[in-house]
Homo-oligomer: A and B are copies of this chain.
Amino acid sequence: MAVRDALLALLAAGPRHGYQLRSEFDAATGGAWPLNVGQVYTTLQRLERDGFVEPVPEPDDDGRTPYRLTDAGHRDVAAWFDRPAEHSMAPRDELPMKVLMAAATDTVSVTELVGNERRVAMATLQDLTALKQRPDADLARRLQIDRMVLRTEAEIRWLDLVEERLAVADPPALSRRVSARVEPNPSKEVRS
């Protein structure tokens, strides 16, 4: 619900029309994650359907109809800002998913996978520091770059950890095989 929440947040500063929301969103996020204008209108419709926004009764001078928050909308924005962001257990992320599946299925070499990922991550790190050097970036952009740097460093350290714990029984094979190898593998798991 990222887009939804973001639009509500922007509307908390006052009535806006669709196109305006798009440009303010771009400005706020520093241009990363370009937002398709159509999505703004779609989301706006859905928000109206759910009673969080409403069109301003009297249209603009130029026929544009700005939207404003309803009371419910205001409450929703406030709640969103108050509620701390979810630090999900995040196995949904692609990287841990890959690592766990590689470890579980034994169809790919975990060490190779980890090695690749680490190499890519370190390259990313270099790109990021290069980006940070350039002075043309605005504040939002720079903050996001910093976040990516910290995140990538954490990811690399995690990959080290994974290797440390999983590399034990993994042969240093060069060629990977992803093939159907049937193996009676009755794993029972008890949910906590």
**Which A residues have a C-beta under 8 Å from some C-beta of B?**
2, 5-6, 9-10, 12-15, 23-24, 26-34, 68-69, 74, 77-78, 80-82, 84-87, 89-108, 113, 116-117, 120-121, 124, 136, 139-140, 143-144, 146-148, 150-155, 157-158, 161-162, 165-166, 176-183, 185, 187-192
Contact A96:B10 (CB < 8 A) given known A74-B179, A180-B69: no
CA A27 – CA B105 in complex, angstroms? 11
Interchain CB contact under 8 A, B180 and A68: yes
Interchain CB contact under 8 A, B68 and A101: no
Interchain CB contact under 8 A, A143 and B96: yes
Give the shortest distance, in Å, between A117 (CB) and chain B (any CB): 6
Q: Which 3 A-B pairs have the closest CB atoms?
A: A28-B104, A9-B101, A14-B182
Copy count, this protein chain = 2
Contact among B10, B81, B154, B162 for A153, CB-based, below 8 A: B154
CA A80 – CA B165 in complex, angstroms? 23
CA A182 – CA B83 in complex, angstroms? 10
Contact among B96, B154, B166 for A154, CB-based, below 8 A: B154
9 sample A-B contacts, Cβ–Cβ < 8 Å, listed by A number? A2-B97, A24-B185, A31-B189, A81-B98, A84-B117, A87-B121, A87-B151, A136-B192, A150-B158
